């Protein structure tokens, strides 16, 4: 289900309660196979079924090709369809085929096939609707703020994103997939003009209805995309506005059934085949309209739910999967849902604009005792692009803290394309405000610029607003110090001291037009060692420990 705000939760619970007595005539079923034996595909020939982009991402992450990468055994698929049912979707990771069945009596013969392990009802097939395109909104003037990030400033600056964006690190070259229930109006909203002008929408697919048109039915995905990709200077800015996006409709907004989890798995496999690096999923599954499908809290162990199983495989294949923790913190369920419970998923809770936990944000731990959520971002009063022209709206939910963080992760990763998903995830968690994670906010609010510094050779950040510091460990510098300067023309002084407080060297530098400056460490410094660095800039004096690792003979 789409993660709903706490205000609509009570109505949703009542709706499910009223569904207890209903009987459901399902026509979509999952057929799970026992194995992939006698498969014509081989792990020794991955180029036959994996794209070059998928192979490249595996190479960067050191991911081995295994049996889960193999497509379903085509003989098994043919034998099932020969019983008079229609192929709908496939999941190689779940080793399962989703079929459309008008006459459910045909399932009996399928159950007798020796390679069939289990058959599970999934829900109802949704009929294909005619795609409807509307005219683009007419340009108009809008009320600009004083800051280029507009009304998004707080949710971006909370994560240190304004510092990354100040260095033009905005997600360039990263491929991001968004799983949601629809992206109504996206193609005609001014906030997304640059996405289309710069060809940043790289693909779409509707797994619910089986076509490519996703700009329909729900504004939830529109708001999620807005958190990541909106680009109207001085009005609203996403956290990853220069990334490339794939929009996948996996959520059936007309009802809650397990077919949505199967859609999730199929979409994740599509993302894998396209070489996508990041998945944002503002979705969660606990209860369904058909109560026989519903989970209990004990099932939130990261292994039971279909989407959680698929999410873990996606991460193992090199994708950074980011999922909203859920909005049940004030409700009877209280805890996270699936796939946020998956071990390898980066699960995102919500905080208010002041950084305090939002009451609706779901708690951990998982049923098997693991800490969730992992980190948090602004999910209360999150700013999104208004649907009508040049406007901004506020909305609540971990559905929006998740993409705020996901876009920022895309920006961080764009600075280090050689890194893998685990390295990016660990850098984000390490940069959290809390050294020890808890079951309310995980590691807390991460500072993505701190994560950037931890992944790079950068030692300090000097800005007009002050100086951001790394914590808990010495900075590392190699072959020189790199400083990000907020204002050209700034003059600052550096003084290097040894552990006895003796002055070893000093430098005076003036910043030119470049805001990112490299310079050599003084020759007077010994090749290796720890030094105390004193920096004077304007009215600031700053001290830091510097781990010097110069390449000197």
Question: In whole angstroms, what is the distance from residue 83 CA to residue 378 CA?
Answer: 51
Is 171 in contact with 240 (CB distance < 8 Å)?
A: yes
Q: Which run of H or E residues covers position 404?
A: helix 398-414
* Burial category of 5 from C-beta neighbours within 10 Å (exposed 0-12, middle 13-18, buried 19 and up): middle
Is 511 in contact with 538 (CB distance < 8 Å)?
A: no
Going along the chain from its start, the domains and CATH numbers come out as 23-123 (3.30.70), 153-455 (3.40.50.200), 460-549 (2.60.40.1220)
pLDDT given at position 112: 96
Tell me the DSSP string of 99-114.
EE-SSGGGHHHHHTST
Q: Which residues of the chain have pLDDT under 70?
A: 3-23, 139, 457-488, 512-519, 526-530, 537-553
pLDDT given at position 483: 60
Distances (CA, A) of 490 to 120, 314, 427, 539: 66, 46, 30, 12
Phi-psi region of 397 (alpha: psi -120 to 50; beta: other; left: phi over 0): left
Residue 399 catalytic?
yes
pLDDT given at position 195: 97
pLDDT given at position 135: 81
CB atoms within 10 A of CB 120: 16
Q: pLDDT digit string (tens) for 482-493?
A: 565 556 677 778
Is 454 in contact with 348 (CB distance < 8 Å)?
A: no
Here the tokens at position 18 are: 């009223």
pLDDT given at position 14: 34
Q: pLDDT digit string (tens) for 91-137?
A: 999 999 999 999 999 999 999 999 999 999 999 998 887 788 888 77
Catalytic residue among 27, 69, 96, 180: 180
pLDDT given at position 124: 92
pLDDT given at position 543: 66
Here the tokens at position 307 are: 């989407």
pLDDT given at position 482: 57
Catalytic residue among 399, 401, 411, 454: 399
Tell me the DSSP string of 13-46.
HHHHHTTTT------EEEEEES--TT-S--TT-G
Sign of the alpha-carbon dihedral angle for 437, 439, 445, 447: positive
Global pTM value: 0.83
At residue 82, the 3 state secondary structure works out as coil
Query: Who's near 37: CB < 8 A, 6+ residues apart?
Result: 73
pLDDT given at position 516: 57
Catalytic residue among 220, 312, 411, 414: 220
Residue 438 catalytic?
no
Residue 401 catalytic?
no
pLDDT given at position 163: 79
């Amino acid at each position: 289900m789409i993660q709903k705000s706490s205000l609509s939760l009570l109505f949703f619970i009542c709706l499910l309660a009223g569904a207890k007595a209903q009987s459901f005539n399902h026509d979509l079923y999952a057929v799970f196979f026992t194995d992939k034996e006698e498969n014509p595909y081989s792990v020794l020939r991955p180029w036959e079924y994996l794209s070059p982009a998928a192979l490249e991402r595996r190479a960067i992450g050191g991911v081995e090709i295994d049996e889960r990468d193999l497509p379903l055994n085509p003989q098994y698929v043919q034998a099932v369809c020969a019983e008079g049912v229609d192929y709908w979707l496939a999941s190689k990771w779940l080793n399962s085929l989703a079929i459309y069945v008008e006459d459910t009596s045909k399932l009996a013969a399928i159950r007798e096939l020796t390679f069939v392990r289990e058959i599970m009802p999934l829900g109802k097939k949704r009929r294909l609707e005619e795609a409807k395109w509307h005219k683009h909104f007419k340009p108009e003037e809008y009320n600009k703020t004083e800051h280029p990030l507009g009304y998004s400033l707080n949710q971006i600056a909370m994560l240190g994103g304004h510092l990354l964006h100040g260095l033009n690190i905005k997600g360039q070259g990263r491929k991001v997939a968004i799983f949601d229930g629809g992206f109504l109006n996206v193609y005609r909203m001014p906030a997304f003009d640059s996405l289309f002008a710069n060809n940043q929408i790289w693909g779409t697919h509707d797994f619910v209805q089986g076509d490519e048109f996703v700009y329909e039915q729900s504004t939830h995905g529109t708001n999620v995309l807005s958190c990541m990709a909106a680009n109207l200077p001085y009005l609203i800015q996403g956290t990853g506005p220069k990334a490339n996006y794939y929009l996948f409709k996996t959520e059936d907004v007309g009802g809650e059934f397990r077919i949505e989890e199967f859609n999730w798995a199929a979409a994740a496999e599509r993302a894998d085949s396209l070489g996508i690096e990041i998945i944002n999923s503002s979705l969660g599954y606990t209860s369904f309209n058909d109560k026989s499908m519903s989970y209990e809290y004990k099932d939130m162990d990261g292994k039971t739910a279909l989407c959680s199983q698929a999410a873990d495989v996606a991460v193992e294949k090199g994708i950074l999967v980011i999922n909203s923790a859920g909005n049940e913190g004030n409700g009877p369920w209280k805890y996270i849902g699936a796939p946020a419970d998956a071990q390898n998923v980066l699960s995102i809770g919500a905080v208010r604009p002041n950084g305090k936990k939002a009451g609706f944000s779901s708690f951990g731990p998982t049923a098997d005792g693991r800490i969730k959520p992992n980190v948090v971002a602004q999910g209360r009063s999150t700013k999104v692009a208004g649907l009508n022209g040049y406007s901004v709206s506020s909305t609540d939910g971990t559905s929006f803290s998740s993409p705020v963080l996901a876009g920022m992760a895309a920006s961080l990763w764009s600075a280090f394309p050689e890194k893998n998903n685990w390295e990016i995830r660990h850098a984000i968690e390490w940069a959290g405000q809390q050294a020890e994670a808890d079951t309310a906010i995980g590691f807390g609010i991460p500072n993505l610029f701190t994560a950037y510094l931890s992944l790079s050779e950068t030692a300090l950040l000097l800005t007009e607003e002050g100086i951001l510091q790394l914590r808990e460990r010495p900075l590392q510098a190699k072959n020189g110090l790199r400083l990000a300067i907020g204002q050209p023309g700034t003059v600052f002084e550096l003084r290097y001291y040894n552990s006895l407080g003796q002055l070893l060297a000093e430098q005076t530098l003036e910043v030119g037009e470049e805001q990112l400056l490299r310079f050599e460490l003084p020759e007077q410094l010994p090749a290796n060692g720890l030094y105390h660095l004193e920096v004077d800039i304007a009215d600031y004096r700053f001290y830091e420990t510097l781990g010097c690792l110069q390449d000197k003979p």
